[in-house]
């Protein structure tokens, strides 16, 4: 049923794409089907082997694997038909992706939900196929509880690492959790080689996993995910957990108490790590208000200058406009900026530029008001010079206005 759901998803996505995108997707799907067909053939040949018999006797069905795969498919299908672009960080955050200012301000559930949110068909398909292929053997060996615990904790801890490394990026996808499964699989292979039994994974079964694993790793390599510490953290956690939990896997599945203890320790580590990240601020709304403030106050002053040139306003009235309408707004914006705490390091230069702009802009307006009231041309030139310096700082705010650090898969 999982494979059928994936194929339906792929077919629907291909239908809504343009001709060039369809060609690329269909080529990828055909290669994927070839891998799946060869893996299925290997499974058929393995039927009746001591390993397959022992595996069936221990656990007949990988229900956790099927459930996670079904969730991946359901979420991606829902995102596909819902409004919003899958390449838009705001859309992905709305579906539960991991984003620093939202996650660290009470939405900690994003550390888990981010693992089932994917920004595209290839990402969802590769992760789900790798999950199903590895999980079909691994879950039946180690049991539902241990398998689910490793998958969730690997994904969650990796989300914490991604949040620490790049808090302003939108991090998502189950790649790190799948790496956790591969780490646990490596541990199971190690213990099976050390203590041979009918449940030692045979070479033929490992070979059937190799094509899917290769596609998964290559995809992550080309999308840049393999360079990330989050994915390697997932693998290391899976390997470490596997070495502890699967030591006696040839005799029985890991005891629930041992799995629960490992799960509790991981949750404590994750919880302790998040203490240093709590309350992260998103300065983008305030920066946008500052940008709008400059445009609004400059337009107000330019309109007043036109009245001044036409003789409808004198210099004193122009100075009063600055003192009563413009300077208080700039000072209020500066006061709001100073109250922001928990600024992520990626946005600290942005806040520093905003602080410099508001300080110099306040000074330039005051100098201009004083020059107008005293008809002092020297003071007016000084106001122009200070205004120029403030607008240089203002220009440094504009490239960073969108503020997002991209999408981290």
* pLDDT string in tens for the chain (409-residue length): 333 344 434 444 444 454 554 455 555 545 544 544 454 444 444 445 788 888 888 888 899 999 999 999 999 999 988 888 888 888 999 999 999 999 999 899 999 999 999 988 889 999 999 999 999 999 999 999 999 999 999 999 999 999 888 888 888 889 999 999 999 999 999 998 888 888 889 988 899 899 889 999 988 888 765 456 888 999 999 999 999 999 888 888 899 999 999 888 888 888 887 888 888 898 989 999 999 999 999 999 999 999 999 988 999 999 999 999 999 999 999 999 999 998 988 899 999 999 999 999 999 999 999 999 988 888 899 999 999 999 999 999 875 443 455 666 6
Nearest CA among 401, 102, 96 for reference residue 281: 102
How many C-beta atoms surround the C-beta of residue 177 within 10 A? Answer: 29
pTM of the model: 0.76
Please give the span between the terminal C-alpha atoms of the chain, in angstroms, as a whole number: 26
Dist. CA 324–CA 315, nearest whole Å: 14
Residue-level pLDDT at 190 = 93
Dist. CA 11–CA 290, nearest whole Å: 47
Overall CATH class of domain 2-274: mainly alpha
């Amino acid at each position: 049923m999982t494979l059928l759901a994936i194929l339906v998803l792929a077919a629907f996505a291909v239908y809504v794409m343009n001709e060039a995108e369809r060609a690329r997707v269909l080529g990828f799907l055909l290669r994927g089907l070839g891998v799946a067909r060869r893996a299925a053939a290997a499974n058929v040949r393995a039927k009746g082997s001591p390993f397959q018999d022992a595996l069936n006797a221990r656990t007949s069905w990988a229900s956790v694997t099927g459930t996670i795969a079904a969730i991946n498919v359901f979420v991606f299908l829902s995102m596909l038909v819902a409004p919003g672009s899958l390449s838009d960080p705001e859309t992905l955050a709305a579906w539960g992706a991991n984003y620093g200012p939202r996650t660290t301000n009470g939405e900690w559930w994003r550390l888990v939900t981010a693992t089932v949110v994917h920004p595209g068909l290839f990402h969802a398909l590769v992760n789900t196929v790798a999950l199903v292929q590895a999980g079909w053997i691994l879950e039946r060996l180690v049991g539902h509880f241990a398998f689910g615990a490793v998958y969730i904790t690997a994904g969650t801890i990796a989300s914490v690492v991604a949040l620490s490394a790049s808090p302003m990026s939108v991090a998502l996808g189950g790649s790190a959790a799948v790496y956790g499964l591969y780490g646990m699989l490596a541990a199971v292979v190690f213990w099976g080689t050390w203590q041979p039994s009918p449940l030692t994974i045979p070479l033929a079964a490992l070979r059937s996993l190799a094509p899917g694993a290769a596609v998964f790793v290559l995809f992550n390599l080309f999308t840049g995910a393999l360079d990330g510490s989050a994915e390697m953290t997932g693998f290391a956690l899976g390997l470490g957990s596997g070495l502890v939990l699967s030591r006696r896997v040839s005799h029985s599945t890991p005891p629930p108490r041992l799995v629960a203890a490992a799960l509790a320790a991981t949750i404590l580590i994750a919880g302790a790590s998040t203490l240093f990240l709590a309350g992260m601020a998103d300065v983008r709304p305030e920066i946008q208000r500052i940008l709008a403030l400059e445009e609004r106050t400059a337009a107000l002053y330019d309109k007043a200058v036109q009245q001044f040139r036409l003789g409808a306003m004198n210099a004193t009235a122009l100075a009063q406009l600055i003192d009563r309408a413009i300077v208080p707004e700039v000072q209020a914006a500066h006061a709001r900026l100073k109250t922001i705490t928990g600024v992520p390091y990626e946005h600290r230069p942005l806040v520093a530029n905003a602080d410099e702009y508001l300080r110099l802009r306040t000074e330039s307006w005051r100098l201009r008001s004083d020059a107008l009231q005293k008809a002092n041309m020297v003071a007016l030139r000084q106001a122009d010079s200070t205004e120029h310096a403030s607008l240089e700082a203002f220009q440094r705010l504009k490239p960073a206005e969108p503020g997002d650090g991209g999408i981290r898969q």
